[in-house]
Amino acid sequence: MEMPSWYTKSLRWMYRGGRPNRLAAVMNRAGVKASNLGLGPKRSVTLEVRGRRSGRMTSNPLVVADLNGQRYLVSMLGNRADWVANVRAAGNRAVLRHGQRERIAVSEVPVAERAPILKRYLDQAPGARPHIPVDRRAPLEAFERIAPDYPVFRIEKRT
């Protein structure tokens, strides 16, 4: 089922310029609280990572994409997302929450391997569809063209 155009436009508006506006920030805080309590689908999580400038823990609602037994985090806003820079600055260490805390490490997926993950992500994260300029039913070649612009991180257990 496709989203109505007014809804798609409103989702793009909420993240105009690659940053959440006030409405999106409020909705993000609600999403963080829900996933921290374990509410909603298991793929809806909170990523907690130390801010690269402030040093404080930041919380971001994300969707975990699963493919071939692996779990991935995808930046729907591309390289501009703060959480991407924060994860990189934190040595790829973070915490995922969905009811329980899970200490994780992430490794950035090479560009050449991102296309099937991006396609799967759009199947699982309807709210991300307006932000990624490829239809979720497009062939993998279309995802290969945009893969350099959308970071993907493989989730691993932290020891």
Q: Bridge-partner residues for 74, per DSSP? A: 152
User: Which CATH number is 121's domain given?
Assistant: 2.30.110.10
Q: How many domains does the chain have?
A: 1
Range of the domain at 52: 5-157
**Tens-digit pLDDT profile for residues 47-91:** 999 999 998 999 999 999 999 999 999 999 999 899 999 999 999
Burial per residue of 84-122, b for 16 or more beta-carbon CB atoms within 10 angstroms, e otherwise: bbbbbeeebebbbbbeeeeebbbeebeeeebbebbbbbb
pLDDT of residue 141: 98
Confidence of residue 105 (pLDDT cuts 50, 70, 90): very high
CA 147 centroid distance within chain: 14
